[in-house]
Amino acid sequence: MLQPATAAPGTIEVLPQPYLLFLGDVVEPAYAKTAFGLRDWAGERCVGEFACTGAGVSTGLPYLSPEQARAEGARSMVIGVANPGGRIPPAWLPALRQALEAGLDLIGGMHARLEAIDALRRAADRLGRRLIDVRQPPPGIQVANGRKRDGRRLLTVGTDCAVGKKYTALALVREGRRLGVDADFRATGQTGILIAGQGIPLDAVVADFAAGAAEMLSPDAGAEHWDVIEGQGSLVHPAYAGVSLALLHGSQPDVIVVCHQAGRDTVLGHPGYPLPGIEETIELNLRLGRRTNPRIRCAGVSLNTAKLDAAQAERLIAAESERLGCPVADPMRGGEAFRRLAQACLR
């Protein structure tokens, strides 16, 4: 488990734990990234998983009904899905009501608000249960001013969505602290907020204020302090490039790490769009990032090798590091390659 960050704007209320993770009816693992993130970074707070008929994804945790989960000590069910548009389909409502009836609160990180669904609101009121939406920006966000802030910042960027930006940021903070670096994780999405207990959901902020929210997320700090900021989307994503650019400008990163999934060739959910190359992604982020931090640099590449075996991953990481001339590592595999990446980042 990653220890909490020092205080920053955007802290959410203390959430009822442990969790039951709800997987809806998803069949694409990338759309269950909230559930996987909680399993991997807050596993001690997760008792099991629950899903609708037809779901094709599992976290590997015990499959429990809401009633069984409540008997095991769960206090809430978290929607572990981040689907396109952040929808809560009607087909999920019976399972969500079942959780309320079993005595669990509901936690959602979707664009769709639990409180806005009449059937859930009525059931929660009747049963004395809570509906908690964490994708709520804090009040008082200002338009970005572009002022250079004290302290040091790292932003994870990507060739696409769901390639490992959050995992990379969390792993870099953990390794940095092990190396004696003063570092905090700054969450910008619902999963990161659930893990860290604070943050700002950048994609829920009105567009004109998104860069200002990024400034607010990583305020002035000590000269040797690092804020490691969770990236969102991709600068070339046909739907989400806007939030990526606002986060890049508002974060004013001193360092970027480019994240990519080995074997992915097209944009997730947009098969007509090929992914950019890693070199193109580095160049574009540096060029646009210089607008608010002329000294921005790329420290290396985080390569998601989840679909490769250990030997294949080791060969690819070594080959890409030689080809690109920088540290390349998979943060989930760790090892010496990841230590080199962390040292290149947080120096």
Condensed to tens digits (0 to 9), the pLDDT of residues 108-165 reads 998 899 999 999 999 999 999 999 999 989 999 999 999 999 999 999 999 999 999 9
Predicted structure pTM score: 0.87
Residues 80 and 202 in one domain: no
Residues 6 or more apart in contact with residue 35 via CB below 8 angstroms: 21, 22, 23, 49, 57, 59, 78, 80, 81
Cα distances from 42 to residues 18, 50, 260, 267, 306, in angstroms, run 10, 17, 23, 28, 19
Q: Give a yes or no: residue 338 inside a domain.
A: yes
Residues 160 and 189 in one domain: yes
Residues 202 and 332 in one domain: yes
Q: Give a yes or no: residue 3 inside a domain.
A: no
Strands (E), 140-269: 152-158, 183-186, 226-229, 255-261, 266-267
Give the Cα-Cα-Cα angle 196, 192, 232 (nearest 5 degrees). 145
pLDDT of residue 251: 98
Residues 158 and 301 in one domain: yes
Amino acid sitting at position 249: H
Structural domain range at position 185? 152-345
Q: How far apart are CA 326 and CA 99, in angstroms?
A: 48
pLDDT of residue 237: 96
| DSSP letter (8 states) at residue 7 | P
Q: Give a yes or no: residue 10 inside a domain.
A: no
Residues 126 and 157 in one domain: no
Residues 176 and 310 in one domain: yes
Which DSSP string corresponds to 233-285?
S-TT-TTTHHHHHHHHHHH--SEEEEEEETT--EETTEEEEEPPPHHHHHHHH
Place of tokens 């960050």: 5
CATH number for 60:
3.40.50.720
Residues 321 and 207 in one domain: yes
Residues 287 and 198 in one domain: yes
Residues 6 or more apart in contact with residue 229 via CB below 8 angstroms: 153, 154, 155, 156, 169, 186, 188, 214, 217, 218, 247, 251, 253
pLDDT of residue 68: 98
pLDDT of residue 84: 83
pLDDT of residue 105: 98
pLDDT of residue 35: 96
Give the Cα-Cα-Cα angle 80, 86, 92 (nearest 5 degrees). 60
Residues 199 and 328 in one domain: yes
- Identify the helix (H) or strand (E) that includes residue 140: none
Residues 207 and 341 in one domain: yes
Q: Give a yes or no: residue 30 inside a domain.
A: yes
Q: Which residues of the chain have pLDDT under 70?
A: 1-13
Tell me the backbone φ, ψ of residue 276, rounded to 5 degrees: -70, 160
Residues 288 and 167 in one domain: yes
- Report helix, strand or coil for 347: coil
Residues 174 and 301 in one domain: yes
Place of tokens 């944009």: 267
Residue 305 contacts residue 313 (beta carbons within 8 Å)? yes
Residue 81 contacts residue 23 (beta carbons within 8 Å)? yes
pLDDT of residue 5: 52
Q: Give a yes or no: residue 29 inside a domain.
A: yes
- Report helix, strand or coil for 23: coil
Residue 174 contacts residue 2 (beta carbons within 8 Å)? yes
Which DSSP string corresponds to 86-138?
----GGGHHHHHHHHHTT-EEEE-SSS-GGG-HHHHHHHHHHT--EEE---PP
Q: How many domains does the chain have?
A: 2
| Two structure tokens written together for 194 | 């659930």
Taking each helix axis as running N to C, give the angle between helix 93-101 and helix 118-127, from 0 to 180 degrees, rounded to the nearest 10: 10
